[in-house]
Copies of this chain bind each other. A is one copy, B any other.
Amino acid sequence: MVERLVLQAYYPHAVTISVPVNILPPELDVVCLGSSLVDVLAQTDDETLSRLGLIKGTMDLIDLQRADEIYAEMGQAVEVSGGAAANTAAGVAALGGKSGFIGKVADDAFGEIFTHDMRALGVRYQPTPVPAAAGKLEAQGTGRCLVLVTPDHERTLNTHLGAATTLAPADIDGPMVASASVLYIEGYLFDAPQGPEAVREAIRIAHEAGASVALSLADPLCVERHRREFLDLLVDELDLVLCNEEEALGLFNTTSLDDAIEAFDETGLLVAVTLGAKGSVVISPGEISRVDAVSPEQVVDTTGAGDLFAAGFLYALTHGRSPELAAQLGGLCASEVISHMGPRPQVDLAQLAREAGLIS
């Protein structure tokens, strides 16, 4: 896998022999593949979570009826574009990188909001919206994620995937995927009926074009649902893995972080495991580094922390920096996004990173 672009950052000597297919340099740094969601965020309390039967810190897939039930119990909310991989694409663009996004919206108000926000950030995004009332009830309308933020700043997610569930291999924009250094995939896509095939198609194109392939494990429950598929990908298809501690433990069915790190180390991939306030661990062939977290001024809402870590990590790698510095930049981006409500940066991330001496 050394010939893939991302690892050039780590093995600079390999650069000249590393682009077997693309003659021109990649046009995009990262293409993200994921669910198009609008987040509906409200502050709540533990009592409301238990009354609604929700498990704190997880993402649950819900139908429209359940969405209405939870929404009715939520306080005044803020709507803001979200979606895990979409947040990462937004973060890469906010850092000054070139990113693209692939994911399905419906032709409704939330679809317009989502599309506007991606383009407003400079993310390349050309969706073909599906009719808002087409198909089964659970596939109707642009996806939305109800985010309940508790006083401990944890977030509990309830997602009505809607149009995002209609992603199919035909939706993969081959030229866009082929034009990127890295294809970044959110694990949540394995919840869509044709998601796994769409993912495989995108990976096929990426590999043919010499792009690196990164997977985000998304969420502990998602790992539980798709552990087998994720391990298969790990063995055959991936160059990078991004996950948090709980997801890492779930993937290898262990309670020991050290065991999980060792298991990742054996794969020979580049892996970043985020540990919340404890920072992150970067596992790369022959080296394991621990990187401190960046303390935010205040913690308001942890939604998007992992996604923005991924944005900083991938931006740095695709700009020739070491995995360790990449994890530092990831930590900085995560610290910004948890200091306010919503999963997208609210300040000029590039300037923030320059001030921290992490990008030039």
Contacts and interface: CB of A to CB of B under 8 A. Distances in A.
A346 B43 contact: yes
B109 A77 contact: no
Interface stretch (A201-209, A247-255, A337-345): A337-345
Contacts of A120: 42, 74-77
A344 B43 CA distance: 13
A340 B90 CA distance: 21
A76 B337 CA distance: 14
A78 B342 contact: yes
A112 to B, nearest CB: 9
Interface string A335-358: 000001110101000000000000
Nearest to A78: B80
| Interface size grouping (class) on chain A | 20 to 34
A222 to B, nearest CB: 26
A348 to B, nearest CB: 9
A300 to B, nearest CB: 9
A113 B78 CA distance: 9
Contacts of A81: 76
A315 interface: no
Which of A76, A77, A117, A346 has the most C-beta atoms of chain B within 10 angstroms of its own C-beta?
A: A76
Nearest to A80: B78
A71 interface: yes
Nearest to A112: B71
Contacts of A154: none
A319 to B, nearest CB: 22
Nearest to A142: B109
A116 interface: yes
Contacts of A107: none
A15 to B, nearest CB: 34
A152 interface: no
A275 interface: no
A218 to B, nearest CB: 22
Contacts of A109: 108-110
Contacts of A75: 120-121
A78 B81 CA distance: 8
Nearest to A93: B76
Interface string A20-59: 0000000000000000000000110000000000000000
A79 interface: yes
A185 B109 CA distance: 29
Nearest to A77: B117
Contacts of A90: 76
A43 B120 CA distance: 11
Nearest to A123: B76
Interface of A: 42-43, 71-72, 74-81, 90, 108-110, 113, 116-117, 120-121, 340-342, 344, 346
28 contacts: A42-B120, A43-B346, A72-B116, A74-B116, A74-B120, A75-B120, A75-B121, A76-B81, A76-B90, A76-B117, A76-B121, A76-B344, A77-B80, A77-B113, A77-B116, A77-B117, A77-B120, A78-B78, A78-B79, A78-B80, A78-B342, A79-B79, A79-B80, A79-B113, A108-B109, A109-B109, A340-B340, A340-B341
